[in-house]
Every structure is written in C-alpha cells, then in structure tokens.
Chains A and B, each alone.
Chain A
C-alpha cells in the first residue's frame, strides 16, 4: 500500500523525495510510538483528574516545599524553548548557513516546549478554575504577571517563526503530494494561504522572517530572565542572587543545544536523513555545546563560590546540603555528569561523532532537568526560621506517583507535538536546497583542505 502511494506522489527531485517521504509513509514503529505517548498522557490525565478531585494534597508538596517538580519542570521547559531562538535567530543572523537544516526542528522544539511550560504552570495552580483571574485581576508588579506576558509573547513569536518558515514548504506539499487523504490536502491548502513562490511574496516573506529573527532574540532572553526573577525576587538561599538571570539564560542555551543534538540524532536515524543531517552538523553542534557549557560553567562558579566562601547562616546550610548533604549525589551528578565531563569529552574530536555526542547530550539534558530540581526544592527547605512544630511529612519532599505521572505526561505531550508536526511537515526545509548543499560542500572542501 505504502509503495503504491509513494509512486503516485510527484516529488520531482530526489531531495524532495527524501524530505517529504516521511510525511506520507506511516510505519508500524511510528504508530507504536504514538500509542505509547498516548498511554503515558492517559496515565498523566488520570493523575491530574485525581489532583483536581482531591486538591494538591495528592502531591508531596507541603507548606515548606511549596513548589515541587511541577515548577522545576516548568523552568526546564522554558529553558528548552530558548533553543528556537538560538538556532533560528543567533546562528541565522550570524550567517551560519550550516545550521539551516536544523532551524525547522529547533523551532518545532521551541513551540512544543513553550506550550508544555504554559500548561505545566496551570497544573501547578491550586485553583486552575480561576486561571482567568490572572487577566481579570492582573497586578503588573507581580513577577508572575511579567512571566505570563513574556511567555505568551514568546509563544506567539515562536509560532509565527515556525509557520512562516514552513509556508513555502506547505505550498510545496500542496503541489507535490497528490496522493494523500482529503483532510491532509485540505490542511495544506488552507495553511499555504495561496503561497505561489511569487517574487513579491518571497521578498515580503524574507523581510518578515528577518524581523522576527531579530525580535525573538530579546524576548528569548527576557523569557528566561523573567523566569529567574520568580526566584531572585525572594529572600530564599540560592535564589537571592543577582547572578540568577544570566545563570538561567546560559543554562538554557546549553540544555537547548543538547536537546537539538538528541533530536538531530533520532530524526537522522528514524527518518533516514543521514545525507541532510551530516556528521558535520554534529561536529559543529558539539563545538557550540562546549562553548555554551563553558559559559554556563562560568556562571555556575559565580553562583556557588561566593556563598560557599562566606557560608552565611541558612545560605551556608543550603550550600552544605548541596555539597555534602542529602542532595549531594544529585548535585555532583548534575555538575560532573551534566556539565564538566561533557565539556572534557567534547573537546576531543572523536566524541563529536553522532553516537558519542548523542549519549553525552542525553546526560546534559538529564543534568539540566535535575539541576532545575536542585534550584527549586532545596532552597525552599532552608527558610530563615527553623522547620519545627509541623507534621513530619513537611520535612521531606519525595514526589508522589501523581506528580511523576503528570511530569512524564508533560514529556509525552512535548514529544507528541514534535512527532505530529514532523509527521505533517518536512522537518528539513525543502526549499533553499541549493543554498544548503552549496554551503555544505563549501565547508566540506574547507575541512578537507585543513586536514
């Protein structure tokens, strides 16, 4: 059946066939993957139903640890979402043409991550039924309101950025994919809004894309800086720091780059795109990851050295708990396994080959997730006044199955959004193919000359 469909499409070029093929063929593996994600989402849905029914009491959060893995997961997703701006704005504006095949996937990841971040914050609310009070009774001096404003702005810009870069390719799907179900034809027709590669259209398109690429940059910085202010505007040890903004932003870029590498590897294998996502891309992303990790390491040193040197009061207790206390195993896993060792390994070229860098990136992503846990939870457990005179359960925080299920289902949503978008649209920009291949050839020539 699949082969019949494939024959009927008018791919026109070999590249077209390679890049559009996956939108037409549906493998069993894909179906199983979707089923698995839906199962995880379903379990999370049941956990959330329980949370709605009984209240946040089903979580392990209590009066001291009043924010748990929902908030740390929120910070993680906000961090991941910065990757869209990294690839499609910073690298693009600096004319790094090698990164062009990665723009689509980075924009898709950004959109998926920011949607998940927004949803997670609603899950964390004690009264989600009053969500619209945030608009009805808005008080602008609250950092939460700043976050709401900046996240919605970033969501809109990210969606526009993704959609606009997709537009020529949607039109391409409309024109070339002839043997597809009716709803898909209808979708491509509606979404391509009469795009016809007219020079005037291309010119306007180019202008708007550039404008968006420039405007997304300050918003991206703001989104994670404002998120850091949710913590930095309080007196908690570990949060009460002027370093928190750049610390968060640099950590986000590092985590985002690692997520892109993981995505690149999986897409390359499963969509058979080895020709388009080449070893060169891994090599380049590996170097970029080292650079971003070094910046993050610098801010890490700034974040911990001062308090660790002075060891003032609860701030000192907090640091001691991280360095040698009950959070020490997690802390050193994060700092060594998720930051220092990846830098050391990635300095050497063999580790920048696809498989090694894929594995290293998984560690960086895991480290990034647990790092957010370490930023949120231990701080809350070190208030100025001692934790006394309360129920025993208030002293510890071990997330309940409901919290894990909901967190896992947020990941499933994240992956589902990415999978579906990749399934519907070409994951590597089909147009501009000439520019891409020329650049890569040029770079390859350059590399060969050097070595």
Chain B
C-alpha cells in the first residue's frame, strides 16, 4: 500500500495480531508434528518463542497446549466479540492462485480438497478483458439470505458481523444453500473422511464437523478471540487478503496495516453482486496493475 503511515494508534491491535499470528502458526505446526512424540525424550525440537527467539526443547517437555480448536461453546458463540465489526478485503491484483489460503483453511477446518470453504475462481468479466483469480469465502452478509431462511436459527448473525452455523442445531434442510447467491456453503453429506476429532464442539471452529449439517467459512472466530488473524490471511504468500475491524477502520494482511476506508476509496473497492442488497462484509479490490501474469498451471497451483 502506498498510503497511510500515520495511523499508528489504531494499528496497535493489529501489530500484536501479526506477531502473535506468526508464533501461533509456528506452534500450530509444531503441535501437528510432535504431539505424539512425547516418549522419545532424547530428541529435541527447535521452537520459536513469543519474543522471537529460537530455542531447543526436549521432546519430553513438549506438551500440547490448548490449540486453535478452542472456540466458544454453542450458546456463547451466538454473542460475538463485543465492540468489533469484522471485515475482509481481497486484493485481486495480487492473487496468483497460490492456494496457500485454501490449504491452510482445509487443514484447520479438517476439510478434504474436494469441498473447501475457500474457492479460487477463474473469472473473466467479459470477452475482451483478461482473466483473473478470485478467492471467495463466505461474505458474512449484513443482510444474510441464509439466516433469513433458516427454520431453526441454526445459522445466525452475530454482533461482530460474523454469520455462524450451530451444527448441533442444524436440521440439514439445505434451504440456506439454495438461498445463498454466492454458493458459499458446503454440506457434510457423509462422515468426515479423517474420522472423528476428539474436541468439544464449537461453532467458532466448525469442529468437529457433524454429518448431515451445513458448513462454511466462519472467519475463524476462535482465532479472533485470541487476537489472531483468520488462518487464510497469514497463509497467503502475496498478502492478498486483508482482515480487520470496521469500527477501528483498519485492516491488515499480516505484513502491512492500512486504513480500510482509504484502501477502499483509493483502490475502488467493491462488493460482489452489490445489486442483490445482501451487504457483504467482504470487499474486493479490482484486478488492475497486476503483480503476476495470469497463469493457469504454475508450480504452486498445479498439484491441486
């Protein structure tokens, strides 16, 4: 971003976010690898501490800390984080379909690659304009069609703007899937292929997933509760995804923190299918002055 170096005050939260996000990612990775290695005490593992130092710790000392999958229980999760209005900005000029956001999202939500929460579309606005990649998650609309049609209040709008699903309430009628004009929702048609996770259920992590119920991108409220960014944001190698708080008027992609209003103004931010009146909380910046040429089969996206 070429603008905005003056708003340090409102960036405090985000600077904290960035650093802790990094550490968390490291801990997360370590956890994934080492939770089962407790017995082999001779081996050591290199870890990154909260103040940025690399340390070596014997494997016997490593204990699984309460991990990312710690969202609020179903009734508490309906409230939302007070004083926040989450918002996302996706800069289409920087996306080259590296698919890191998809991979990390799949990993943390225990998803299989055939039905991810994040989809990266190959878009072309008209015959003459060039194609571009468009990552799409749930838009967490302020006027959400899915919430309106739900017969049991299993999907709901929170005070912080997030639209969540209570999989312990969902009856699996799939009306919300028909109602969502953005095809944001996926359904747990069968049992999760990875088997059952031994975790307390939370709508904030959408885990463990429940057969016969609907699911979608949740903006990772479990991370937000810990002042961390949703998994897809730091995952992106190109800083495509900005996330932040509308009240603070700041968004960050993990590397730079900018004013939301200025960003949208300067880069002509828009919302997909504005005319439907759903008032999405995800903005797009048009794919102009591209960082990368449009390539279909690059090293990064060819495997998926």
> A residues near B, CB below 8 A?
54-57, 59, 61-64, 66-67, 124-127, 130-131, 133-134, 136-139, 141-145, 148, 230-231, 233-236, 380, 383-391, 394
Contact = CB atoms under 8 A, between A and B. Distances in A.
A391 B214 CA distance: 18
A125 B171 contact: yes
B107 to A, nearest CB: 17
B152 to A, nearest CB: 4
A144 B191 CA distance: 26
Interface string B134-153: 00100000000100111111
8 A-B pairs with least C-beta separation? A126-B172, A57-B190, A126-B212, A391-B114, A144-B151, A57-B189, A137-B152, A142-B151
Nearest to B116: A389
Interface stretch (B175-183, B223-231, B286-294): B175-183
B232 to A, nearest CB: 15
B110 interface: no
Interface string B111-136: 00011100111110000000000001
B212 A64 contact: no
Contacts of B175: 142-144, 230
A136 B183 CA distance: 28
A55 B114 CA distance: 18
A213 to B, nearest CB: 31
Given A130-B171, A394-B115, 7 more contacts: A134-B171, A136-B152, A137-B152, A137-B169, A142-B151, A234-B178, A386-B123
Interface residue range, chain B = 35 or more
A143 B172 CA distance: 15
6 contacts: A63-B115, A63-B185, A126-B172, A143-B175, A234-B145, A235-B145
B170 interface: yes
Nearest to A137: B152
Contacts of A64: 183
A59 B190 CA distance: 10
Contacts of B273: 384
B149 A143 contact: yes
Nearest to B152: A137
Interface of B: 114-116, 119-123, 136, 145, 148-154, 169-175, 177-179, 181-183, 185-191, 211-214, 273, 276
A133 B171 contact: yes
Nearest to B178: A234
Contacts of B174: 66-67, 126
Given A139-B151, A144-B173, A55 B182 contact: no
Given A55-B191, A142-B175, A233 B170 contact: no
A124 B173 contact: yes
Q: Chain B: interface secondary structure?
A: loop
Nearest to B170: A127
A144 B151 CA distance: 6
A142 B212 contact: no
Contacts of B187: 56, 62-63, 66, 126
A204 to B, nearest CB: 39
A383 B183 contact: yes
Given A62-B189, A234-B145, A383 B151 contact: no
Given A126-B174, A234-B179, A235-B181, A389 B119 contact: yes
A383 B273 CA distance: 12
B30 to A, nearest CB: 30
B120 A389 contact: yes
Contacts of A142: 148-151, 175
A390 B175 CA distance: 21
B182 A385 contact: yes
A66 B171 contact: no
A451 to B, nearest CB: 53
Contacts of B119: 385, 388-390
Contact of B177 (A66, A125, A143, A148): A66
Contacts of A57: 189-190
B172 A127 contact: yes
Contacts of B186: 63
Contacts of A148: 151
Nearest to B114: A391
A231 B175 CA distance: 9
B178 A236 contact: yes
B189 A139 contact: no
A126 B170 contact: yes
Contacts of A126: 170-174, 187-188, 211-214
A390 B115 contact: yes
A61 B189 contact: yes
Nearest to A235: B181
Contacts of B188: 55, 126
Nearest to A132: B171
A389 B150 CA distance: 27
Pick from A59, A127, A133, A233 the residue with the most CB of B within 10 Å: A127
Pick from B122, B181, B191 the residue with the most CB of A within 10 Å: B181
Nearest to B191: A55
A384 B170 CA distance: 25
Pick from A133, A138, A236 the residue with the most CB of B within 10 Å: A133
